[in-house]
């Protein structure tokens, strides 16, 4: 099933938590990037229609605010809660689709031949070492969850019945649910932000410590290598004294 920009954004507006994992408009770009990434991996056409986020961004800069912070940050600035900020984005988007704005230059067609799946991307050092390049905001772990969830939704729309990306995404969430039962099934992006007291660097580091542990097949109660190293050093120092 091919989906248009209007369809995709309407679906997100109807149930943002199921798609973005939160209400911040800053999660929209990561979700859409993940969605488009999956379409490329599976050699599918991109999201159809001309009224997508890239075109909206140009319209927004011409009609509302041209600063470097972007429309997501601007919506957050003008409101008091994430929910209000997301609602304001959709108000702006509604004005955009009703306008007679036409893009001057066609949006470049992205190369559909991308080597790495979402899972391969996370196994590489790319996201670990350059998170800001992928997310463009301070919500790194929540953005990572939204990006991967967008990837999974695109696979559903492309009728991909099963993939390692989906199996790991679902399996890792179940593993986290067992490891941190007190979180009551909160998505792992929120879990690692919570555990790191919303410190984005620590949250990302903690995520990869646990993700590596999961990929190695260790049980939910296993110690991370970082914690084991700390424990070994603490015991060694105690014995010295």
Domain ranges of the chain: 5-231
Query: What is the pLDDT at residue 114?
Result: 56
Q: Supply the pTM of this predicted model.
A: 0.89
Kindly give, in sequence order, each residue whose CB lies less than 8 Å from that of residue 127, ignoring residues fewer than 6 positions away: 121, 134, 144
Q: Considering the chain, what percentage of its residues have pLDDT values greater than 90?
A: 73
Query: What is the pLDDT at residue 241?
Result: 64
* Three-state secondary structure call for residue 211: helix
Kindly give, in sequence order, each residue whose CB lies less than 8 Å from that of residue 145, ignoring residues fewer than 6 positions away: 21, 187, 188, 189, 190
Kindly report, residue by residue over 110-161, the tens digit of the pLDDT: 454 556 899 999 999 999 999 988 888 889 999 999 999 999 999 999 999 8
H-state helical runs in 15-67: 16-20, 28-41, 53-63
Query: What is the pLDDT at residue 1?
Result: 77
The average confidence (pLDDT) of the chain is 89
Model confidence at 234: pLDDT above 70: no
Confidence category of residue 101, pLDDT binned at 50, 70, 90: confident
Kindly report, residue by residue over 13-34, the tens digit of the pLDDT: 999 999 999 999 999 999 999 9
């Amino acid at each position: 099933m091919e989906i248009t920009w209007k369809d995709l954004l309407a679906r997100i507006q109807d149930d943002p938590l199921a798609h973005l994992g939160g209400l911040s408009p800053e999660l929209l770009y990561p979700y859409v990037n993940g969605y488009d990434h999956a379409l490329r991996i599976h050699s599918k056409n991109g999201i159809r229609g001309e009224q997508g986020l890239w075109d909206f961004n140009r319209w927004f800069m011409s009609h509302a605010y041209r600063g470097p912070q972007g429309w997501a940050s601007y919506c957050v600035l003008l409101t008091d809660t994430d929910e209000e900020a997301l609602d304001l984005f959709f108000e702006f988007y509604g004005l955009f689709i009703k306008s007679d704005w036409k893009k001057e230059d066609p949006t470049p067609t992205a190369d559909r031949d991308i080597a790495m799946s979402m899972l391969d991307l996370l196994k590489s050092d790319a996201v670990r070492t350059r998170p800001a390049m992928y997310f463009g905001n301070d919500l790194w772990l929540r953005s990572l969850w939204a990006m991967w969830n967008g990837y999974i939704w695109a696979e559903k729309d492309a009728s991909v019945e099963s993939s390692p990306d989906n199996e790991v995404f679902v399996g890792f969430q179940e593993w986290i649910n067992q490891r941190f039962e007190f979180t009551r099934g909160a998505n792992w992006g929120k879990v690692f932000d919570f555990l790191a007291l919303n410190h984005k660097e620590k949250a990302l580091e903690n995520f990869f410590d646990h993700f590596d542990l999961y990929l190695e097949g260790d049980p939910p109660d296993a110690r991370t290598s970082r914690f084991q190293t700390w424990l070994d050093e603490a015991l060694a120092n105690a014995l010295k004294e």
